[in-house]
Amino acid sequence: MHGSLIATRERRTRLRRLMALEIEQTPDFLRLYKLAGLSLVTTYALVAIIGDIRRFATSGKLVSYLGLNPSSSPVHRLP
């Protein structure tokens, strides 16, 4: 069991390095990481969810897509 824990830790370290390299090599990703103060994993997840950011006409549309602005989301509106 100990060997499995060590192997898992090493794999996680490798994956974090790969995420860091990809974020570092893409200026928009790096800007998001630095300006938003997000963790490495959160930044990588957001980038994976958003995809090509140019598909959103405005920042408001992106925020609405992510569900970060309840007033712009049609879900769960009270009468």
Whether the pLDDT of residue 76 is over 60: the answer is: no
User: Residue 74's pLDDT is what?
Assistant: 54
Whether the pLDDT of residue 72 is over 60: the answer is: no
User: Residue 28's pLDDT is what?
Assistant: 83
d(CA 58, CA 53): 10
For the full predicted model, state whether its pTM sits above 0.75. Answer: no
The predicted-structure confidence for 11-67, as pLDDT tens digits, reads as follows: 999 999 999 999 999 888 888 888 888 888 998 898 889 888 889 999 888 888 888
- Angle at CA of residue 51, ends 63 and 46, nearest 5°: 55
